[in-house]
Structure formats: C-alpha cells, structure tokens
Amino acid sequence: MFAAATLAILVTMGLALIRAFRGPTVYDRILAVNMFGTKTVLFIAVFGFLTGRPDFLDIALAYALINFISTVAVLKFFAYGDLDNTAATPDEGEDG
C-alpha cells in the first residue's frame, strides 16, 4: 500500500516537473517548485514507512519549513529583481 502511494507521489512529481520545464511564466515555475517540494515531503514520509524505519520524519519536517521559506524568498526576490535591477532592495517589506 505504501508502494502504491509512493508511486502516485512519484507520478505527481513527474507531472510537476513537466510543468516546471514548460511553464510559460515564472510564476508557473514557482508554483511547480512549491508543489514539487510538498511532494518531496510526502515522498520522504511515505518512503520512511516503506522501508520500515519511520524515525526519519525530521527531514520531511525540515523540508516543509524550508520549502515555504524558499518560496517566499523566490517571490520576494523575483518581485524586486524584476522591478528595477539597480534599485532592487529586498528588504523593504515593512516600511514601504
């Protein structure tokens, strides 16, 4: 049963990957990366059960957090990088 779930996750990862390659806009790619990250979390969690050592969920947990951080970072940098290359200040979220 875990194998089936793993397979499903792998297929989804593949689909997300295709979207990331094709993605016409940057946002599509970000979305695909985000989704891919979530799928990686799931994959690691399920794989731990598949191999019978489910103690390694820390990794999945770390992924879930880091993935969020990197998505936010990507969005922020993208927004500023695109606005004006020379005046890009990635640190003005608060006092704008």
Footprint of another protein on 5-24 (CB under 8 A): 5, 7-21, 23-24
- Give min distance, CB of 52 to another protein, in A: 8
Least distance CB 51 / another protein (angstroms): 7
DSSP sequence for 9-77: HHHHHHHHHHHHHH-SSHHHHHHHHHHHHHHHHHHHHHHHHHTT-TTTHHHHHHHHHHHHHHHHHHHHH
* Residue carrying the six token digits 């969920």: 57
CB of 74 to another protein, least distance (A): 6
Q: Give the Cα-Cα-Cα angle 59, 36, 51 (nearest 5 degrees).
A: 45
Minimum distance of another protein from residue 22's CB (angstroms) = 8
Binding residues for another protein restricted to 32-91, rule: CB under 8 A: 32-49, 51, 53-85, 87-91
Site size toward another protein (CB under 8 A) is: 90
